[in-house]
Structure 1
Amino acid sequence: MPRLVASDVARTLRERIMSGDWADRRVPPERALAAELGVARNTVRRAMRLLSADGAITRHVGRGTFVVTAPPAGPDVDGTDDLAGTIARMEGASPADIMEIRLLLEPAAAAFAATDASIGDLAAVEAAHREAVAADDMPGFETWDAEFHHRIFACARNELLREFHALVRVLRNRAPWFDMKKRSFSETRRLAYCQEHGAILAALLDRDPEGARGAMHAHLKTVETNILRR
């Protein structure tokens, strides 16, 4: 029997994924697959890397390897990846990646909100700010901090932008981001965040898009420094 190489193993595993062999989405351990296929474990490991690069599987340290989609989608006719697979792969985004996306999206959302928000929208942002100021512990502040930002996106009246933020918000609630924020939390920083939120809110109430954009960018750079220690 010809010796299997990593690409052959990857092809075999991809066929098994497409046939629905692992309906529970969990892929067997490398050791078990190596014994089953009669190859070295490092060959299976290289095959897994190929599948991971293709978006067919996702690997979580301490939890195992999982099928992203069954069957995994290759490029669509226009060359784009399957949306579900793309979203699943985003689960592994690092806090630094998330922060960079926030710096791209949130200043723009604040600028849109300054011109497009209704009086009721701005009242909702102001209410979230008051709750964040009144919070006396990290979980309470984190809840209203996230809500403050969420309501600004709602003000922007751009559905796609709002959905992008909803996805980022899900990623921010995952353990790596929350744990880093918890470690960096202090009352001094909470008060600084509230002061910066106040500057954002003031620009929104003044209907000043560039002021809102700048205040949001400044706030996120503070968050970046505190959480990522940059």
Structure 2
Amino acid sequence: MSRFVAADIARSLKSRIAAGEWADGRPIPAERDLATTFGVARNTVRRAMALLEEEGAVVRQVGRGTFPVQPPDGEIAALVNRMAGASPADMMEIRHLLEPAAAAFAATNASVAELDALIEAHRAGCAAVDMPSFEHWDAEFHHRIFACSRNQLLKELHELIRVLRNQSPWFEMKKRSFSEERRLLYCEEHEAIVEALRRRDAEAARRAMSAHLETVGANLLGRGNGYAGGAARER
């Protein structure tokens, strides 16, 4: 069988998703099965799945597998299209509303296995050597906090925000704001969140997440844009 590069595999899987191949709630086949199907190494499939996740075409659910994100229909599609035009400042405000609450829920609701998965994402982010790798694990870290919250509605709201944040303009903005100094600072702030979750301290987890989002917002929007306390506005 021909050797496919990761981008080719991602395009193939995206076409199959659009055709509704896994629309019945089944997960996409495991990496080892896809590697056999395409005749490539598992790390190539892993990169293809990461590309799809960055595009918002799939979502990974810890312990369950990888699932396609089906395009919405009708009124929901119109709503999502309108949301796609949300400003970065508006997006940060919503993150300030949702993510500290998710962290507080996670402190009391997460299982040991879910916390271990979160710590795994944190360590992978700290070990990342380039911006795309760090962005992947940074997004996965926040995703796993919502999984730890055990609140299904919060998780689904985050999935929607995650899809919007994976669009090209957002990625380019994050790329421009990225630096090694900031990566290390984010890792320190993630560590503070992890420690609060380990202690099962909901209020400390909430505060640590809020402080982290203050840093992220300032770096993305710039302190000169009036960002403060989740009340950012584009000027």
* TM-score clears 0.5: yes
2:105 equivalent to 1:112: yes
1:222 is aligned, of 215, 218, 222, to 215
Distance, in Å, in 2 between the alignment partners of 1:115 and 1:163 is 19
Question: Can you list the C-alpha shifts for 1:152-187, whole angstroms capped at 9, x where unaligned?
Answer: 000111111100000111111112211111111000
2:157 equivalent to 1:148: no
Distance, in Å, in 1 between the alignment partners of 2:100 and 2:77 is 27
Q: Which of structures 1 and 2 has the bigger CA Rg? A: 1
Identify unmatched segments of 5+ residues in structure 1. Answer: 1-68, 74-81
Distance, in Å, in 2 between the alignment partners of 1:202 and 1:226 is 24
Show the 5 A alignment for 1:11-50: none
2:119 equivalent to 1:130: no
Q: Secondary structure at the match of 2:150?
A: coil
Q: Which has the higher contact order (CA 8 A, sep 6+)?
A: 2
Q: Which amino acid aligns with 1:136?
A: V
Identify unmatched segments of 5+ residues in structure 2. Answer: 1-71, 224-235
Deviation, structure 1 residue 116 = 0.2
Distance, in Å, in 1 between the alignment partners of 2:102 and 2:138 is 16
1:190 matched residue in structure 2: 183
The alignment covers a number of residue pairs equal to 152
Q: Secondary structure at the match of 2:96?
A: helix
Distance, in Å, in 2 between the alignment partners of 1:165 and 1:91 is 14
TM-score where L is the length of structure 2: 0.63
Q: Secondary structure at the match of 2:189?
A: helix
Deviation, structure 1 residue 83 = 2.6
2:228 matched residue in structure 1: none
Q: Which amino acid aligns with 2:139?
A: A
Report if the CA contact (8 A) 1:128-1:144 is conserved.
Answer: yes
2:167 is aligned, of 174, 180, 200, to 174
2:90 equivalent to 1:97: yes
2:153 matched residue in structure 1: 160
2:197 is aligned, of 192, 204, 220, to 204
Report if the CA contact (8 A) 1:95-1:176 is conserved.
Answer: no
Fraction of identical pairs, as percent = 66
Moved over 2 A (4+): none
Q: Which amino acid aligns with 1:114?
A: A
Distance, in Å, in 1 between the alignment partners of 2:112 and 2:153 is 22
Deviation, structure 1 residue 190 = 0.2
Q: Secondary structure at the match of 1:92?
A: coil
TM-score where L is the length of structure 1: 0.64
